[in-house]
Amino acid sequence: MYNLRKVTKNDIKLLFDWANDPDVRVNAKNSKPITWDEHVIWFNNRLSNKFAYTYILSDLQESIGIVRFDKTLEGYVISYSIDKNYRGKGFGELVLVEGLKNLYLSVDKPNLVAYVKKGNIASEKIFNKLGFILKKEEIINNIVFNIYQK
């Protein structure tokens, strides 16, 4: 049994640890580690932003992963991450599907955008399976990203 819930102030350390996982940093737009002070500012801004939706997927005992939707001029940008102990087990797709269900309850017909580092085959497969269309490539911080939209 899995549960998707909104992030709360009690999740600050969990999200800090997930964000600084080496595999997460490798696939991020900015690959440098995040400091605690940077994280605290980001986290508090996120909790107070009514256009940012952040959810954690859990089983009965452990947190499994996170999905975020951030409103920008181009639409709701999707970001997700799975705890290293749960990767490769289908939870990326599950957290996205459940997160999208929750977003659709809050936002009418959102334009969805995902930046996927070129070569991140697992994420590319998930977004393709969920009906996202590869629109273009973009270079950010000298890293090539595939931009998917739905």
- Domains in the chain (CATH in brackets) are 3-111 (3.40.630.30)
Nearest one of 93, 46, 38 to 65, comparing CA atoms: 93
Instruction: Give the model's pLDDT for residue 91.
Output: 96
Instruction: Give the model's pLDDT for residue 1.
Output: 86
Q: How far apart are CA 131 and CA 116, in angstroms?
A: 15
The model's pLDDT over 85-138, given as tens digits with 9 standing for 90+, comes to 999 999 999 999 999 999 999 999 999 999 999 999 999 999 999 999 999 999
Instruction: Give the model's pLDDT for residue 43.
Output: 96
Query: How confident is residue 32, by pLDDT bands cut at 50, 70 and 90?
Result: confident
Q: Would you state the structure tokens that stand for residue 76, as one six-digit string?
A: 């709701």
Q: How far apart are CA 90 and CA 38, in angstroms?
A: 31
Does the pLDDT of residue 27 top 90, yes or no?
no
> In the predicted model, what is the mean pLDDT of residues 145-149?
96
Instruction: Give the model's pLDDT for residue 92.
Output: 96
Percent of the chain residues topping a pLDDT of 90: 84
> In the predicted model, what is the mean pLDDT of residues 13-38?
88
Instruction: Give the model's pLDDT for residue 67.
Output: 98
Q: How far apart are CA 14 and CA 107, in angstroms?
A: 27
Does the pLDDT of residue 34 top 80, yes or no?
yes
- Output the CA torsion 120→126→2→66 (10° steps): 40
What is the reported pTM?
0.89
